[in-house]
Structure 1
């Protein structure tokens, strides 16, 4: 059975689905995310990118700047435009807090105006 002949409600690899849903830019990045333990499916840490998912599964991702909670609605058949990709999932991610979480690199950087004194600051 080819990829285009997949019946509705069938299973699909997690790395392929993340790529088709436009959550990551490539399948290799999706595989790296899974290998790092940043993906959970139905509350269980996903350790293999070959793990299959089906509609109704809950996927939680820990990304660099935010955490994402998705519920699979359909299998992907191709990496299409964003409008097509967002039909593959329901986004249950809570609204971001007023104060966003900074990465360690951003915390280490100096703020604007911090550092040496200039003319009027002396």
Structure 2
């Protein structure tokens, strides 16, 4: 072999760039049509990607947009993986993310408190 290929599988690149813990998770996301390459919806994990392609995919609670800069030869350490892409995701402030209502830890909630939590009242548990 004379060097890395010009193109590689989408699921393999996502795994090498450390976006997903396993290649199977990356393949499941790609196979489910949840990833876009250059704006086109992809439904096969074996789709070939190359440097210059722009990927859009969900990760945790946000949507990531990355441009592929290079293809990896292996799944290496994190600094090596960060060199494979340019992150173009717009950072959303943390306080804009809606949070689930939380009980404040003053013992076990009563039935009335539980109903207030379930109703998602803004004044619950004052």
TM range (shorter): 0.7 to 0.9
**Structure 2 counterpart of 1:90:** 86
1:68 and 2:59 are equivalent in the alignment? no
Q: For residues 51 and 98 of structure 1, what CA distance do their matches in structure 2 show? A: 34
> Are 2:72 and 1:113 equivalent residues in the alignment?
no
Deviation digits for residues 1-52 of structure 1, max 9, x if unmatched? 4xx7325xx0110000000000001110000111222210000011000000
TM-score by length of 1: 0.79
- The two structures, once aligned, show a CA RMSD in angstroms of 2.2
Higher relative contact order (CA 8 A, sep 6+): 1
Equivalent of 1:55, from 51, 55, 62?
Answer: 51
Residue 38 (str. 1) matches residue 34 (str. 2): yes
Structure 1 counterpart of 2:10? 14
Counterpart contact for 1:60–1:70, Cα < 8 Å: yes
Partner of residue 3, structure 2: 5
- Hey, which bits of structure 1, 4+ residues long, moved more than 3 A? none
Q: Which has the larger radius of gyration?
A: 2
